[in-house]
Amino acid sequence: MPDVFISHSSKDAELANRLCSILEENGLQCWMAPRNIMPGDDWAAAITKAIKSSKAFIIIYSENSVSSSQVPKEIMLAGSSGSYIIPYRIDNTPLKENYEYHLGASHWIQADVSKGVFKGEELVEAVNKGIGNATVNVHISVENTAPINIVTPKKPNKLTLGLLIAGVVLLLVLVIVLIVMAVSGDDDDSSGDSSQLTNGVVDSSSQTDSQGAMSTDSSSSDDNGLQGNIEKYHAPTDVFPYDSNNVTVYKDKHDSFMVQGNSYEQGFVMYRLDSFMTINVSEFDSVSFSIARTDDSGSTENKLHVLLDGEKYDYFEVHADTITSDITIDLSDIDVMRLYVDGDGTMCDVAVFDMAFTKFAKGEGTNTETPDTPVADGSIVVPVEYQDYDNFGVTRYNDPHNSFSVLGVSYDNGYVFENMGGWLLFNTAGMTDFTFSVGRLDESSDQENKIYVEIDGAEYDYYNVYADAVNKDIHITLDGQEHIMKIYTEGDGVSSQVAMFGARAVFGDAPQAPEIPQNVVLSPETAEPYKTCDRIEIVNEKQTQFSVGGHGASKGYIMGPIECGMLFNVYGYNKLTMTVGRNDGSELKQGKLYFYADGYEVECITIEPDVPPKQVEIDLHGDTKTLYIYKEGDILSPQIGIYDMYFEGTKLPMGACDIPETAIVLPTDYLPTQTGRIEGYNGFGESFTVAGEQFEEGFVISNYEQSSIAIDNVGRTELHFDMGCVHDRNDAELRERRITVYLDGVAVQNYLITTAAGIQSVDVDITDVSKIEITTDSGDVNSASIALFNMYLN
Based on the fold, state whether residues 240 and 309 are members of the same structural domain. yes
- Give residue 156's pLDDT: 43
Q: Tell me whether residue 645 is in a domain.
A: yes
Both 558 and 685 in a single domain?
no
Is the pLDDT score of 772 beyond 80? yes
Q: Is residue 375 a part of any domain in this protein?
A: no
Task: Report the distance separating Cα 241 and Cα 276, nearest Å.
Answer: 10
Bridge partner list, 449: 465
**CATH number of the domain that residue 500 is part of:** 2.60.120.260
Cα 493 from Cα 474, distance rounded (Å): 25
Regarding whether 635 and 669 lie in a shared domain, the answer is no
- The mean pLDDT value for 229-251 works out to 81
657 in a domain, yes or no? no
Q: Is residue 715 a contact partner of residue 764, using CB atoms and an 8 Å limit?
A: no
Range of the domain at 54: 4-145
Q: Closest Cα to residue 5, out of 131, 161, 101, 179? A: 131
Q: Which residues of 686-702 are buried (b: 16+ CB within 10 A; e: fewer)?
A: eebebeeeebbbbbbbb
Residue 634 and residue 748 in one domain? no
Q: In CATH, what number is assigned to the domain containing residue 325?
A: 2.60.120.1060
DSSP 544-586: --EEETTEEESSEEEE-SS-EEEEEE-TTEEEEEEEEEEBTTS
Residue 206: predicted pLDDT: 32
The verdict on pTM exceeding 0.85 is no
Domain end marker among 507, 534, 568? 507
Nearest to 2, CA basis, from 42, 31, 44: 31
User: What pLDDT score was predicted for residue 698?
Assistant: 85
- Assess if residue 198 is contained within a domain: no
In a domain, 725, yes or no: yes
The pLDDT, as a whole number, for residue 365 is 32
Residue at 48: amino acid letter: T
10 and 40 in a common domain = yes
Residue 685 · residue 556 · CB < 8 Å: no
Binning the chain into helix, strand and coil, the percentages to the nearest 5 are: 15, 45, 45
The percentage of residues in the chain with a pLDDT greater than 90, rounded to a whole number, is 19
Sheet holding 30-31, edge to edge: 30-31, 4-7, 56-61, 84-89, 109-110
Q: What is the mean pLDDT of residues 228-247?
A: 78
Q: What is the pLDDT of residue 222?
A: 37
Q: How confident is the model at residue 366 (pLDDT cuts 50, 70, 90)?
A: very low
- Asked whether the bond before 517 is cis by omega within 30 degrees of 0, the reply is no
Residue 771, SS3 per DSSP: strand
Lowest mean per-residue pLDDT among 56-60, 137-141, 292-296: 137-141
Distance CA 91, CA 103 (A): 16
Examine the domain organization and report whether 280 and 344 are in the same domain.
yes
Triad 193, 195, 200: Cα angle to 5°? 110
Residue ending a domain, choose from 101, 129, 145: 145
DSSP lists the bridge partners of residue 452 as 462, 488
Q: What percent of the chain shows pLDDT beyond 70?
A: 79
- For the chain, the domain total comes to 5
Look up the CATH number of the domain holding residue 17: 3.40.50.10140
Is residue 48 domain-resident?
Answer: yes
- Measured between alpha carbons, how far is 245 from 273 in angstroms, rounded to an integer? 10
How confident is the model over 67-95, as a mean pLDDT? 82
Both 588 and 675 in a single domain? Answer: no
Residue 367 lies in a domain: no
Pairing of strands 697-701, 737-743: unpaired
Instruction: Mark whether 529 and 640 lie in a shared domain.
Output: yes
pLDDT of residue 794: 84
Q: Is the pLDDT of residue 536 over 90?
A: no
- Residue 5 burial class via C-beta count within 10 angstroms: exposed 0-12, middle 13-18, buried 19 and up: buried
> What's residue 219's pLDDT?
38
User: What's the mean per-residue pLDDT of the chain?
Assistant: 78
Q: Are residues 9 and 138 in the same domain?
A: yes
Residue 660: is its pLDDT beyond 80? no
- What is the Cα–Cα distance from 341 to 316, expressed in whole angstroms? 10
Per DSSP, 767 falls in state T
Q: Between residues 177 and 57, which one has the greater pLDDT?
A: 57
Residue 764 has pLDDT above 60, yes or no: yes
Place 287 in a pLDDT band, splitting at 50, 70 and 90: very high
Q: Is residue 240 part of a domain?
A: yes
pLDDT of residue 69: 67
Q: Which of 318, 344, 304 is nearest to 260 (CA)?
A: 318
What is the rounded CA–CA span in Å between residue 275 and residue 350? 10
For residues 211 and 532, the model is more confident at: 532
Question: Last residue of some domain: 145, 168, 197?
Answer: 145
Same domain, 702 and 753: yes
Please compute the mean of the pLDDT values over residues 84-91 and round it to a whole number.
90
In sequence order, what are the beta bridge partners of 287?
A: 329, 357
- Residue 439 has a pLDDT of 94
Asked whether residue 334 falls in the same domain as residue 312, the answer is yes
Band the pLDDT of 333: cuts 50, 70, 90. confident
pLDDT at 203 over 60: no
What are the tens digits of pLDDT across the range 369-410? 333 333 445 577 888 777 777 777 888 887 766 788 998 888
Same domain, 458 and 529: no
In this structure, of 203-207, 227-231, 499-503, the range with the lowest mean pLDDT score is 203-207
The number of residues in the chain equals 794
